[in-house]
Structure 1
Amino acid sequence: MNPEQMISQLAGFYNHDQFAEIYHLHAAEFKQHVPEKTVMDFYHYDIKRSLGEITSWEFIKSEEEVSEYLVNFKYGELSLKISLTADQLLALVNWEPVDQEEEILNSRDPLTILSANPLANPLHRFIDQQAINYLQDPNNRSLSIGLIHGTYTETFFYGETQQGNSVLPDSHSLYEIGSISKTFTAVILAHAINQGKIGLNDDIRKYLSGDYPNLQFEGTPISVIALCNHTSGLPGLPENFEAHEGYVERNPYLNYSKEMISEYLKSFVLDEPPGTRAEYSNLGFAVLGMILEDLYQLPLKKLLQEVITVPLEMKNTTYEVPAGRQDSLVAGYDHENGEDAGYWDLGDFKAAGGLKSDLDDLLSYLRANINDSTRDFSLTHHQTNIQNGYGRGLAWVTQFFNEDTIIWHNGGTGGFRSYCAFVKEKQIGLVVLSNSSKDVDDMALEILLYSIQNLINI
């Protein structure tokens, strides 16, 4: 058997969910150190639920008996390095992200990119460099960037709110913020906890209408905290999500109702105890939103206003943009083809990602988090789960860079990307908003780390 034949066999087992068979392709030395369940879980949860089936592969190169392939999946690609033992078993299997320099066709002339950056100091110039690099791709449209240091706030704007209109965004330009919405849901949950209305360790079935005998594994139920730190065991989305009647690819959440969620939960079966593993789940937050609405007998929109937006005077953060503010919505674009991506109506998944907001509001929200302005905000930052290299509070992610703890969340919809982060101890915070589906995380982290390391220049 050669490496090509081994990949063919591995892919066949993978596509038919025969993950135990993949384990048996490995050499005895590997099996001595790695349990079968670890391998099965890796292919089942870490790869297949995110990337789908393997569709093809191509040889890249071979060095010292290690062969490298580009493996294409339904929803992405990975690099695979493998080597075989003398008896044709797997000695090495190494899956990695594809590290490819993205080729930008028809790159914009930096001098043509609209900007409101004064370029007055090294920080300004560093932000400008990062923003220009992002916007040289003609499929990326605009950036709104806000930076907090102590009581000081600076904002930077680039690009245009709609293709060809030559209008810079400003502090009140509205963007879809996607999964940053989860942190708002977490604050509402923390409010309920601090009021004694719900407990983090409570069985979620205590708050759901109907009978859900399967939402437990061998007596261990899904807890409220497991919904909020993504360890519930629920998948990212229901398996029937794309197949449901009324599915619209450009607006995928529009018609998946609470009733559909409830029906799915009745048929769902856990295959391990909740709390065992983190798997990012929009479904989990949709369920959390349902629980909060039932708990207060109020729509999430009203809870958002009472707990967060009215106290913080955030006038432009909402699930549904009123008619009088529609003109402030920037257009969202698909980074792959540069086409208008439209807007997403998250419907009954709004707790997971339905908010629209502007830079001014998000900086107010970020400052409230930095300052622990209420017990509700503070509670969401407490670490509840630890994974390799990062932890989670209630929705928020915590990561450590040298002596600094960065608390962050990102978001994305069909035509928007967003990033929000802060370091409490240094009173630094950052918001980055884009009306393109191109990820902003790396750029935002570079700006944040530069800000931390060069405080004297801010």
Structure 2
Amino acid sequence: MFIAKKQAFILGRLLILMNLFCSISYGQHRTISTDNPKLSALDKQVDKYVTQYYQDKRSVGVSIGIVKGGNIYFYNYGETQAGNKLRPDKNTIYEIGSTTKSFTGILLGQAITDHKIGLDNDIRDYLKGEFPNLVYQGTPITIRNLASHTSRITRIFPNMWERPEYDSLNPLKNYNKALLYQGLHKMQMDTLPGKKYAYSNMAVALLGTILEDAYGKDYFTLIQKYILTPLQMDNTMIRIDALPARRIAHPHDENRKPVPMWDIFYVPAMGALRSTTTDMVKYIIANNNEANAAIKLSHQRIFGTDEDGMGLNWFLHRTPTGHRVLEHSGGTGGSRSSLECFPELKTGFVILTNSLANRNQLEKDLASLLSK
């Protein structure tokens, strides 16, 4: 009797171990659909990096666009929605989140070139109403401060989540210019503007409304006129209602459950754009070439150092070999984006994902590969 019980106990432990091994094996070797041919050295390196990325169990789909040596490469993995077995492609629409801010920076460069806005002007020159609170010890917030995250404007105003209609899955839905200005009126400065970096979504949202007022046109109309149409970025948009579901990379939460895209329709400058890798490689090429005056102006450092500075809503760095890096990234409730351009090397990449999986190492690996 004792022997039988002991054998049963041992058998049970073995079954547990076998089940544990199988689950680990599946987690480490789950089959991920891809169009990567794995033929060239670049193909194989990208596949190696993406395989590591998929160790994060939150991962769903990822699309990568690379500019290198005068050529363009696209790599797609996973699914547009968990379980649908539909692989994304270079024309799949993803949220790009705060990478939108780099477009806002170029639009600001255009407004400066057109003499619509002065970089070092007091922002109150462009606001309706009185804002005595937007000064600290006699120093006002300037447009430069908005574009470099040195304004001291709060990252997010409390009235975003204090609204009765607030939806945590779509937090900026129906958050409009009136609410933005209401939050701005209540804000209190705590430091001299222009001295300290502190990332602020609200500052860039405000910059977007200033640009709209300067031109008398809505944000997307301006982006279309000055960036999207000239670069033939026909698949970059804010509203995607008319698109078929198969074209969309549906966002996912921590548990790989689909969640809504964020509708940032009324303060779009901070993160409303959706795009494809096809369009984003065009954007990389245009930023690398710097042929357009507004684009080139947006890359000029307005805060910090060459190794760690800010352009007009661009993060500026240097590679270990001293070459310039322009970058921005973005995140929403279920999507992530990373964009890096190396103007002197004429290389760059974009990573678009529809999950909350950590793509930081993938970003570092691609940056290292393309900046050599």
- What's the TM-score once normalised by structure 2's chain length? 0.90
Q: How many residues get paired?
A: 349
Q: Match of 1:348, SS?
A: coil
1:204 aligns with 2:132: no
AA aligned to 2:325 is I
For residues 105-153 of structure 1, the C-alpha deviation after alignment (integer angstroms, 9 at most, x for no partner) is: 7754546111111212222211101111212434211111111024211
Match of 2:356 in 1: 437
Identity %: 34
AA aligned to 2:310 is R
2:109–2:298 CA contact under 8 A, matched in 1: yes
1:377 aligns with 2:289: no
1:401 aligns with 2:319: yes
Match of 1:216 in 2: 135
1:107–1:137 CA contact under 8 A, matched in 2: no
Match of 1:120 in 2: 39
1:353 aligns with 2:275: no
- Choose from 404, 419, 426 the match for 2:345: 426
AA aligned to 1:125 is K
- Choose from 67, 74, 83 the match for 1:164: 83
Q: Which has the higher contact order (CA 8 A, sep 6+)?
A: 2
Specify whether residues 325 and 136 from structure 1 end up closer, same or farther in structure 2 by C-alpha distance, changes over 3 A only: same
* Equivalence map 1:10-159=2 (5 Å): 107-108=26-27, 110=29, 112-159=31-78
* Equivalence map 1:307-346=2 (5 Å): 307-334=226-253, 336-346=254-264
Greater per-residue strand proportion = 1
* Equivalence map 1:258-273=2 (5 Å): 258-273=177-192
Match of 2:209 in 1: 290
Specify whether residues 387 and 270 from structure 1 end up closer, same or farther in structure 2 by C-alpha distance, changes over 3 A only: farther
TM-aligned CA deviation for residue 424 of structure 1: 0.9
Question: Partners in 2 of 1:259 and 1:193 — Cα distance?
Answer: 25
Question: Partners in 1 of 2:157 and 2:59 — Cα distance?
Answer: 31
Specify whether residues 176 and 220 from structure 1 end up closer, same or farther in structure 2 by C-alpha distance, changes over 3 A only: same
AA aligned to 1:197 is K
2:156–2:202 CA contact under 8 A, matched in 1: yes
Task: Give the superposed CA RMSD.
Answer: 1.8
Match of 2:148 in 1: 229
Question: Partners in 2 of 1:396 and 1:328 — Cα distance?
Answer: 29
AA aligned to 1:414 is G
AA aligned to 2:126 is Y
Match of 2:106 in 1: 187
AA aligned to 2:117 is I
Match of 1:363 in 2: 281
For residues 354-383 of structure 1, the C-alpha deviation after alignment (integer angstroms, 9 at most, x for no partner) is: 100001001111110000130011011111
Question: Partners in 1 of 2:145 and 2:244 — Cα distance?
Answer: 36
- What's the TM-score once normalised by structure 1's chain length? 0.73
Larger deviation, residues 399-408 vs 249-258: 399-408
Q: Match of 1:398, SS?
A: strand
Q: Which runs of 4+ in 1 moved over 3 A?
A: 104-111, 324-327
AA aligned to 2:337 is S
| Residue ranges of structure 1 left out of the alignment (5+ in a row) | 1-103, 454-458
Question: Partners in 2 of 1:230 and 1:156 — Cα distance?
Answer: 33
TM-aligned CA deviation for residue 345 of structure 1: 0.5
Question: Partners in 2 of 1:379 and 1:298 — Cα distance?
Answer: 22
Question: Partners in 1 of 2:296 and 2:364 — Cα distance?
Answer: 23
TM-aligned CA deviation for residue 420 of structure 1: 0.5
| Residue ranges of structure 2 left out of the alignment (5+ in a row) | 1-22
Match of 1:48 in 2: none
AA aligned to 2:78 is G
For residues 192-224 of structure 1, the C-alpha deviation after alignment (integer angstroms, 9 at most, x for no partner) is: 100111110011111111111111112211000
Question: Partners in 1 of 2:97 and 2:173 — Cα distance?
Answer: 14
Question: Partners in 2 of 1:385 and 1:147 — Cα distance?
Answer: 29
